[in-house]
Chain A
């Protein structure tokens, strides 16, 4: 079993763990954080799959051993987007809790229906 395979399996487990949190945590704040964990797992998978030979482009000779720069370059955008969505969600979840006095998604839904 190679290191790369182990790392990939671990990162997929992180993504699934995040999904579990999104599905089963009732607290809205934890749901949002679990979604961020999923996002981080996916981003790390990108970095891992760009690893290839595991040599930084300036460090060694030959072209095959270089890490692939493209996924690393594009994933920066996804990091920024994930960060901004996380920030927005947390701010508005706080706003929501001021109105409904709870962070429990089910209860908010219930009160929302009643209003």
Chain B
């Protein structure tokens, strides 16, 4: 099935169908979660078929000067992650009553994300990424709380600014090579590469320019956060990985940014007391793992999509988002199991998908990256120990630190009403997918398993040491002005850094 016909079929299935289904659902206002679920199941089947086929299909739509698409294993893996997360969110929304536009916008977003994953053309990526920014904006403010409106405006503003720089980079590439194809990037001028990456780094939530992420992901409603962390972040990262595959300077930049982001996110997460912001900071850090080794980033992206969306959906069902206050609440057993499995997966415990994905990343890491990533992995285990060792019900609620009082008032973590209940189909599906992917990735050698368990043990030791301590970390970098300033400084710094190292 290597003829272009099959390729066109896949494009219709992955991109055209979800967009149409989303528009139809938005106009008619019917269907509940069916459009999202249906599109997810169909893309899942298509992605698995592509992954099983092992071949790469390259399409050029509309002849020369046309739009180039590449259906390869990396794209199929990203599409698989997108479909898996969307299916889980659809199953989660089965009972709840969300705003009427929620499911249509999510469906369109899933199609747009697939378009980005397939594109091999700078301008096409720009269009799809910007469309996803608008859809993401609508999703963040879907709960209609004033807090969400400010976060969403910040998100739209900073992301759009990043894409203006990206547009400048596109122009530079075009003037140099006469085409927008990504394959022209190997000889592209340095300034162009840095501008392109600047825009995508913002969108992908990578390191400092991505600091809009904790706020937006923390404020949005639980199903939306799951989609943002599982899918929208990858919309920026997938093209970054592709650019890094073509251009040496881009690869070098990601080698540095990855571990830096991993450590920064973990450091903030260690002292975070709010369950949703904790997960958001971990997205910041996991994205670093993903970018640190561009050649296997897609595998880590799929694993991260699965466990992070599961964690967000589970935390959304907790009665409160303050971790310390959970001792006064009842947490049902099935929810506890979901939280524990998700936390073990993100900490890299075998045989879940996080183990195999971390193994691939560590295997491909440069010698100087490895200790940094290992440290970040230990920190991840330490901060997720908060969910593993939840205070027992009835334990004294000790909260002397002042940071505790600055948290928003106790409110259910998920704004959209989803009744408190036992394990749903989404838990079963995500758990099965995590186990299945873990088995598929393999790597169960005694040495590696012992290493993973040591990381876990080290993390829990660190948790015991840090328990009850708090460190008031400044969040001033997350204001709108500082986000823009950091982006500009990042562009200048990246340009200088890349120039001194490579040329």
Interface residues of A (CB under 8 A from B): 15, 19, 22-23, 28, 31-32, 35, 38-39, 42, 45-46, 49, 70-71, 74, 77-78, 81-82, 84-85, 88-89, 92-93, 95-96, 99-100, 105-106, 108-109, 112, 115
Contact = CB atoms under 8 A, between A and B. Distances in A.
B167 A88 contact: no
B171 to A, nearest CB: 6
B174 interface: yes
B134 interface: yes
A63 to B, nearest CB: 14
B451 interface: no
Interface in B138-158: 141, 146-147, 149-150, 152-153, 156-157
A23 B481 contact: yes
A71 B146 CA distance: 40
Interface residues of B, number: 34
Interface in B157-185: 157, 160-161, 164, 167-168, 171, 174-175, 180
A103 B440 CA distance: 53
A92 B152 contact: yes
Given A45-B168, A74-B180, A81-B127, A88 B149 contact: no
B495 to A, nearest CB: 15
Given A81-B127, A88-B134, A89-B153, A70 B481 contact: no
Q: Which of B65, B126, B150 has the most CB of A within 10 A?
A: B150
A93 B167 CA distance: 25
Given A35-B157, A35-B160, A42-B167, A78 B147 contact: no
A31 B481 CA distance: 10
A93 B153 contact: yes
Contact of A115 (B146, B157, B180, B485): B146
B130 interface: yes
Q: A74, A93, A106: which has the most chain B beta carbons within 10 Å? A: A74
B480 interface: yes
Given A23-B484, A88-B134, A93-B153, A78 B167 contact: yes
Interface string B479-496: 111001100100000000
B126 A108 contact: no
Interface in B181-204: none
Given A45-B171, A46-B171, A71-B171, A22 B149 contact: no
Contacts of B126: 78
B134 A84 contact: yes
A4 B133 CA distance: 34
A115 B408 contact: yes
Interface string B110-149: 0000000000000100110011011001000100001101
Given A28-B153, A31-B480, A77-B127, 20 more contacts: A23-B484, A35-B160, A42-B167, A42-B168, A42-B171, A49-B174, A70-B174, A71-B174, A74-B123, A78-B126, A81-B130, A84-B134, A85-B133, A85-B160, A89-B153, A100-B146, A105-B480, A105-B481, A106-B481, A115-B147
A23 B488 contact: yes
Nearest to B160: A85
B59 to A, nearest CB: 18
Given A35-B164, A78-B126, A78-B167, A23 B485 contact: yes
17 contacts: A31-B157, A38-B161, A78-B126, A78-B127, A78-B167, A81-B130, A84-B134, A85-B156, A88-B134, A88-B137, A89-B156, A93-B153, A99-B146, A99-B149, A106-B481, A109-B480, A112-B150
Contacts of B171: 42, 45-46, 49, 71
Nearest to A110: B479
B149 A96 contact: yes
Given A74-B123, A95-B149, A96-B153, A85 B134 contact: yes
Nearest to B67: A74
Contacts of A85: 130, 133-134, 156, 160
Contacts of B157: 31-32, 35, 89
Contacts of A42: 164, 167-168, 171
List the 7 closest pairs (A to B, CB-CB), nearest first. Answer: A99-B146, A81-B130, A109-B479, A74-B123, A42-B167, A112-B150, A105-B480
